[in-house]
Structures are given as structure tokens and as C-alpha cells.
């Protein structure tokens, strides 16, 4: 039986302790702890890494603290366009969706794409039609509405730019893309990522989260990775897969491979953000080059960590 491990993240960016109240910090940590527990319970009961990462991400999508699911930011037209991906390290099967609207849990739709279709990535209206065929739960616009998110949209529109939520000047800002990686008792690993993207995004912009190899990747031979940050550099660096390549072809450890990508390769592309990773032995790492990253980890050896700041 392998050591089993789960890690989750809720976004990385300019997260400063001086800008978050004690109550806000407690709320974030509680949300991370709940999601961590949801995923860990699956592993503890002998469930798969794939089901564990689904459970953890659904928990994070169902609250409005993070930029995914219910908490997704507004696009320029006032809608929420959401992206998600999931990948099974045992089989290399993957599913992803991009620019979907009104889907309560985009990660469940990504899972359906992986398990109920011959495709990997569906987008927009087609993905929404697929969701209806497969009874994926949807919600009306008001389910996703947030006065804070609307204020962030207006702020971005006044500045005439797209904006990562972790760069918002709003003192009550909310953060980030969510994700999970896990290793189960059989030594199988999986990764999942979900996001609402950038505030005021236009033209159907899609970031790294649903792109297999960029924001999400899992392979039992190497690692499972879920990324968070400014998506464009992560896409250009093929970030998640690059970690896997460094492990497979240069025999780097999970920690060293992630460190090389996050603190060297990404920085050369002005790529701000971070990632969580696990290998098939249950080893874990959480790496970021920003001021902070909402993150948590728990394994079967009794280790547990929930952190926000550097």
C-alpha cells in the first residue's frame, strides 16, 4: 500500500497578511480545510486519486471565496466563463472544458468529457449542450452573482484592461483558480484544476487551466501538477508538462523539477504564480514565486499543512 497524499490550492498572487483581516484569513483556511477533508476522506476509504481531486475541487467550486464555480469573476460582457480540466495519471485519460457558462461544477463537466466522450476538450455552447445531455447541474446567473466581483469588473473596465483577481486593488479581494492533486493507496495519481479566468476578459479568452500540459497534467511515471497564476506564460512554457519532463528525462525529484520551472523558467517569461504537485510515491511539493498561495496538504503519515503566505 502506497502512502496516500492530497494537496489543494486556491490561487497564487499578491496575497499579503497586512491586507487580509483575521476573519477573512480564518474563512479561507476553513474553506481549504473542508476541501482537503473532502478529498482526503476519499483516499482514506480506499478511493481513487481521480475521485479525490474531483471531490476537493467541487468543494472549492461550491463556495464564493475563490475564482472558480460560484465565485468566478466576470468577463467583459458580465457573464462568468469558466474553465476546468482533470487528468488520470494511470491511463493518461483527460477531460477539459473552456468558456462554459452557468455550469455549477465545471470540474464535473470536465470529468464527463473524459469518461463519456471520445474527446479531451470541449468549449462554449457545445460543451454546455454536452452538459445537458449528461445531466450536469447548471445554475441561473444569480447563483454566480457577487457584488464584489461586479466591483472588480467595473474597476478593470475603468482601467481598460483584463485583470487577475489576485492583482485587484479591492481591499476585500478574493483569490484564485483552484486545483487539487492526489496519490491514492494504489500509487495512482491525478490532477484537477478549475477557474473563472481573468476579470474583464474578452473574445473568449482561455487560460492555462483547461489545457492539458499547461495548467494541468498527471502521469504515474512522474507527477500530477495543478497550476495557478497568469495563464499566458504558463501556456507558453507548457508548465505542468515541463515538470514531468524534467523528472522523466533529467531524473530530477518532484521538488527540484517544480523549483526549476517556478523559480527559473516561468520568471524568464514574467510568469507569476505557482503550482502543487505529487508523485506516485506520495511525495508532495507546493511552489510559488508570488507573495502567497492558498494551499493545503495532508497525507497518511500524519502530516498536514494549511498556509497562505510565504
Residues 6+ apart with CB under 8 A from 158: none
Start-to-end CA span in the chain (Å): 33
User: Residue length, the chain?
Assistant: 310
Q: For residue 127, give Cα distances in angstroms to 80, 106, 123, 157, 227.
A: 15, 10, 5, 28, 23
**Active-site residue identified among 177, 193, 195, 199:** 177
Active site residue 193: no
Q: Name the residue among 29, 35, 64, 61 with its Cα closest to residue 309.
A: 29
User: What residues form DSSP beta bridges with 16?
Assistant: none
Please report the DSSP string for 155-175 in residue order: HHHHHTS-B-GGG---TT--B
Please report the DSSP string for 232-269 in residue order: HHHHHTTHHHHHHHHHHHH---HHHHHHHIIIIITGGG
Compute the distance between CA of residue 152 and CA of residue 130 in angstroms, rounded to an integer: 31
Measured in whole angstroms, how far is the alpha carbon of residue 120 from the centre of its chain?
17
- For the annotated catalytic residues, the residue numbers are 177
Amino acid at each position: 500500500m502506497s502512502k496516500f497524499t492530497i494537496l489543494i490550492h486556491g490561487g497564487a498572487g499578491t496575497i499579503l497578511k497586512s491586507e487580509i483581516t483575521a476573519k477573512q484569513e480564518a474563512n479561507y483556511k476553513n474553506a481549504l480545510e473542508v476541501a482537503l477533508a473532502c478529498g482526503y476522506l476519499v483516499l482514506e476509504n480506499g478511493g481513487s486519486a481521480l475521485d479525490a481531486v474531483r471531490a476537493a475541487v467541487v468543494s472549492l467550486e461550491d463556495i464564493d471565496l475563490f475564482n472558480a464555480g460560484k465565485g468566478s469573476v466576470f468577463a467583459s460582457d458580465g457573464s462568468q466563463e469558466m474553465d476546468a480540466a482533470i487528468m488520470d495519471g494511470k491511463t493518461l485519460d483527460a477531460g477539459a472544458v473552456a468558456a462554459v457558462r452557468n455550469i455549477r461544477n465545471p470540474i464535473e463537466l470536465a470529468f464527463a468529457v473524459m469518461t463519456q466522450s471520445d474527446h479531451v476538450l470541449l468549449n462554449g455552447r457545445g460543451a454546455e449542450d454536452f452538459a445537458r445531455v449528461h445531466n450536469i447541474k447548471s445554475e441561473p446567473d444569480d447563483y454566480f452573482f457577487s457584488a464584489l466581483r461586479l466591483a472588480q469588473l467595473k474597476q478593470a473596465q475603468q482601467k481598460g484592461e483584463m485583470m487577475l483577481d489576485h492583482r485587484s486593488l479591492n481591499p476585500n479581494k478574493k483569490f484564485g483558480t483552484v486545483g487539487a492533486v492526489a496519490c491514492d493507496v494504489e500509487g495512482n495519481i491525478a490532477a484537477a484544476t478549475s477557474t473563472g479566468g481573468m476579470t474583464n476578459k474578452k473574445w473568449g479568452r482561455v487560460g492555462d487551466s483547461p489545457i492539458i500540459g499547461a495548467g494541468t497534467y498527471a502521469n504515474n511515471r512522474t507527477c500530477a501538477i495543478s497550476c495557478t497564476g497568469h495563464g499566458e506564460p504558463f501556456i507558453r512554457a507548457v508548465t505542468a508538462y515541463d515538470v514531468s519532463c524534467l523528472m522523466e528525462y533529467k531524473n530530477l525529484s518532484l521538488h527540484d523539477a517544480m523549483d526549476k520551472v517556478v523559480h527559473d523558467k516561468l520568471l524568464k517569461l514574467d510568469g507569476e504564480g505557482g503550482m502543487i504537485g505529487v508523485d506516485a510515491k506520495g511525495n508532495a511539493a507546493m511552489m510559488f514565486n508570488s507573495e502567497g498561495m492558498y494551499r493545503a496538504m495532508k497525507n497518511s503519515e500524519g502530516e498536514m499543512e494549511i498556509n497562505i503566505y510565504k
